[in-house]
Copies of this chain bind each other. A is one copy, B any other.
Amino acid sequence: MVPAPPSRLRLGPDTGAAAIGFFDWQWCSDSGAELCDPARAQFKECLIVLDCLLDDQPVARVPYAWVDSTVPLLRGFIQGMPKMFGSVWLTRSFPVGRAGVQRQPGARFTGTTGAYDRRVASAAVTITEAIGDPPPLSDRPLVHTRHFPAWHPGEKAINKLVMAKTSNVEFSDIWCGEADLYFDGASDGDLAALAPVEIGQGYLFSYSETLEPGQRI
């Protein structure tokens, strides 16, 4: 489903640098109405991010994403960030209790993604240190291809390179530590090509953004 990226976009200097992220989202539109019905306002997401250059600007690209709710699935399709339906789970942090897993040295956080009875990926980080800077690739502008397939004979598909725009970006409570990553690309040849060859550090952080209209590039 992901069309070939236009030629202004290419892999970054550290070829193959990539990240997998697991996110527990709560969102609302300007009115805040969705927050009154948390079944609408929450979803979980896993996405893979590749280090890329747009001309000479460091950017990132999302070849695969999974969400467990259809509103972000369709929203992503419209933005140029198509997503697949999956089950995504993350260890959460609560202020009390043995199972509370608070953000402190030695705590271990896991994210998992599955689809169609297959665990596609799971990752864990044992956090050791609070840090100040956002994790690699997490603050890069995302370059997407807005794709709308042709449907009637003679029609041409839409394939437009766009840069996602956000405002009000905040990072908070960023930790790092040693990471594990299990990855099963067997269900999909393109996904298999993204299997990790080396595992770097893992990170844990809170993040917020306001999604703005995209920018044609």
Query: Which residues of A pack against B, CB within 8 Å?
Result: 24, 26-28, 32, 34-42, 69-70, 73-74, 77-80, 84-85, 87, 89-92, 94-101, 108, 110-114, 116-120, 124, 146, 148-149, 151-155, 158, 162, 168, 170-173, 206-210, 213-216
Contact of A77 among B38, B42, B77, B214 (CB under 8 A): B77
Assembly stoichiometry (copies) = 4
> In the complex where A35-B101, A101-B26 touch, is A206 in contact with B95 (Cβ < 8 A)?
yes
Bound form: Cα–Cα A10–B75 in Å: 30
Contact of A42 among B36, B73, B89, B111 (CB under 8 A): B89
- A45 CB → nearest B CB, Å: 14
Task: List 20 other contacts, CB 8 Å, given A28-B98, A158-B158.
Answer: A26-B97, A26-B99, A35-B108, A37-B116, A38-B90, A39-B112, A39-B114, A40-B116, A41-B99, A70-B70, A87-B117, A95-B172, A96-B206, A99-B208, A112-B117, A113-B117, A114-B116, A118-B118, A146-B151, A151-B162
